[in-house]
Amino acid sequence: MGEIATSNRQVTLFYNSDSPRGEKTLAYAKAKHLKLEEIDMLKTKLTGTQIVELAHKLHLEVTDLINQNHPAYASHFEYHNFSEDDWIKMIQHNPEIMKQPIALKGDKTIIVETPTDILKI
């Protein structure tokens, strides 16, 4: 059993409050009256286990959770072949570079590309 509790009765939303997509997704979910657990990744530091668990739930590698097009990534890092532990530390210290928002409900997990995607969960 993982660290991230999921339920079929509510959506857990991992988002970045400085991200327009994250804020719009959160607002849309609230407007649709979805039962929601909000986790702002800028205020709540994710553990390494949670990051790995999110990647696995999405059927991705941790490295695939990195948004290498984000300005914070480009200004702090150059492309390298880092280890999984290095990627985890990068996300923990720079949560804005993680692809988001990520929505979970029961056994289903998605990366929200547009705010209306939250309804797919």
* Superfamily of structural domain 11-120: Glutaredoxin (3.40.30.10)
Residues 59-98 as b/e (b if ≥16 CB within 10 A, e otherwise) read eeebbebbeeebeebeeeeeeeeeeeeebbebbbebbbbb
Six token digits for residue 38: 């909000």
111: pLDDT confidence band, cut at 50, 70 and 90? Answer: very high
Where exactly are the structural domains of the chain?
11-120
**pTM of this prediction exceeds 0.85:** yes
Mean pLDDT of 1-15: 87
CB atoms within 10 A of CB 16: 22
- The per-residue pLDDT for range 82-108, each reduced to its tens digit, is 889 998 998 999 999 899 999 999 999
Q: Is 16 helix (H, G, I), strand (E, B) or coil?
A: coil
Q: Which pLDDT band, with edges at 50, 70 and 90, does 67 fall under?
A: confident
> Any alpha helices (H) in the chain, and if so which ranges?
20-31, 48-57, 71-76, 84-93
pLDDT exceeds 80 at position 46: yes
What tokens appear for 56 in the block?
């696995």
* Residue 1 clears pLDDT 60, i.e. is over it: no
